[in-house]
């Protein structure tokens, strides 16, 4: 439809020029034909044929290759856009994975630090408990040694007291004291000392 309008816009001015060139006498069929086809019908048919051949040549040699080239270029552009979108998607996924890996690394580092703190606290508590246990054991051992030394000292003092008492009683009595008497005196003396 657009082609017909264009053709009409081109043809009408040509016909108007042709019609205004008349000298006022009406046209006859032969005049009209001679004005439209001044060299005859065959020249017009040859020119139309040449024009059609030219159009066919331009169509096959120009239009079709250009159309193929444009279609190929459109296909390449579409492929490049698809590739760019795919690369963008891959880059987005890689960035998301990187962020997830960094976040997981931070969480793991935090977990490791927390675990190390707990382990250090447990070791500190174990060392303190062990030191307290060793101190308590040494204190108990020292108390036992003190108690043993005390008992040994008491036993030594008793023996010394017994010797002194025997010597004193034999001098006071002027005779030798029997073992039973000596034991009774010793027990009374020791009971008196322990009661004080």
Residue pLDDT, tens place only, 146-181 = 988 888 888 888 777 777 766 776 666 655 666 676
CA dist., res. 161 & res. 183, Å (int): 12
Task: Check residue 164 and give its pLDDT.
Answer: 74
CB within 8 A of 136, min separation 6: which ones?
Answer: none
Task: Check residue 117 and give its pLDDT.
Answer: 93
Task: Check residue 43 and give its pLDDT.
Answer: 80
Matching residue, tokens 């006071």: 172
CA dist., res. 37 & res. 52, Å (int): 18
Q: How far is CA 175 from CA 9, 52, 170, 184, 185, in A?
A: 176, 175, 5, 16, 15
Let me know if residue 14 belongs to a domain: no
Task: Check residue 156 and give its pLDDT.
Answer: 83
Let me know if residue 11 belongs to a domain: no
Task: Check residue 94 and give its pLDDT.
Answer: 93
Let me know if residue 185 belongs to a domain: yes
Report residues of the chain scoring pLDDT below 50: none
Let me know if residue 178 belongs to a domain: yes
Task: Check residue 33 and give its pLDDT.
Answer: 67
Query: Which domain does 185 fall in, by range?
Result: 155-195
Contact 186, 162 (CB under 8 A): yes
Let me know if residue 190 belongs to a domain: yes
Let me know if residue 175 belongs to a domain: yes
Let me know if residue 160 belongs to a domain: yes
Let me know if residue 188 belongs to a domain: yes
The count of structural domains within the chain is 1
């Amino acid at each position: 439809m657009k082609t017909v309008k264009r053709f009409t816009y081109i043809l009408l001015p040509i016909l108007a020029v042709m019609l205004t060139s008349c000298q006022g006498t009406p046209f006859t069929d032969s005049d009209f034909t001679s004005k439209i086809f001044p060299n005859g019908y065959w020249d017009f048919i040859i020119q139309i044929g040449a024009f059609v051949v030219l159009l066919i040549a331009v169509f096959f040699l120009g239009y079709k290759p250009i159309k193929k080239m444009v279609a190929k270029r459109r296909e390449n552009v579409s492929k490049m856009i698809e590739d760019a979108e795919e690369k963008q998607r891959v880059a987005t996924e890689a960035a998301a994975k990187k962020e997830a890996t960094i976040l997981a690394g931070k969480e793991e580092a935090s977990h490791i630090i927390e675990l190390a703190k707990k382990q250090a606290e447990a070791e500190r508590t174990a060392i303190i408990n062990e030191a307290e246990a060793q101190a308590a054991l040494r204190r108990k051992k020292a108390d036992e040694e003190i108690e043993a030394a005390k008992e040994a000292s008491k036993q030594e003092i008793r023996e010394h007291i017994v010797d002194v008492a025997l010597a004193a009683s034999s001098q006071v009595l002027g005779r030798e004291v029997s073992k039973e008497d000596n034991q009774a005196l010793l027990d009374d003396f020791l009971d008196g000392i322990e009661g004080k």
